[in-house]
Amino acid sequence: MKSTITLVLIPLAFGLAACSSYQAKPKMNYYHGETPPVGYVQVVRASATEVEFKITVVFQADHMYHVLLKGNEPLAEGWFPTSRMAASQGYHVTLTLREGLRLEPGKSYRLCIGSQNPEAVQVESSNYRCLVDYVFVFQVK
């Protein structure tokens, strides 16, 4: 009887432990990707709660996932279309920070552009690959 209970309880305990390690908002390590050449990513407009970028990097995909980071902490994120009328025009992305978050003047932030949602990556890994990694210092524009 004890061995039967043990055989049932041990797998159950491991199953519960695995479920308890899942986090809705995972702590991801956003690996630095390629730094785009000067002028390929520009901050068009910025306030303490919103940043608009003009991006002229050419992607194969119609949509890419954009994450505004402070270190490895996501401040704003989402899927955005990457299409444009002409190759030289680029596309615009406006990222609005989560409730209660603000950018600080003079501090460095990163725009990470990837091909997946970080929550989908978290199922397999805690590492997120940025295909494009643009670092900027916040100044009100």
36 pLDDT more than 80: yes
The Cα 41–Cα 16 span in angstroms is 45
- What tokens does 90 get? 């680029």
Q: Break the chain into its structural domains and give their ranges.
A: 25-137
Q: Which CATH architecture has domain 25-137?
A: Sandwich (2.60)
* pLDDT tens digits for range 85-132: 555 688 999 999 999 999 999 999 999 999 988 888 877 778 888 999
The tokens describing 44, both together, are 């068009």
- pLDDT given at position 128: 87
Buried b (16+ CB within 10 A) or exposed e, 12-50: eeeeeeeeeeeeeebebebeebeebeeeebbbeebeebe
Q: Which two tokens mark 128?
A: 């997120």
Decide if pLDDT at 65 tops 70: yes
pLDDT digits (tens, 9 = 90+) for 37-61: 888 999 999 999 999 999 998 888 8
Question: Higher model confidence: residue 15 or residue 52?
Answer: 52
E strands present in 32-86: 41-46, 50-55, 63-70, 73-81
Q: Mean per-residue pLDDT for 70-96?
A: 87
Q: Does 27 score more than 70 pLDDT?
A: yes
For the full predicted model, state whether its pTM sits above 0.85. Answer: no
> 64 and 80 in contact (C-beta within 8 Å)?
yes
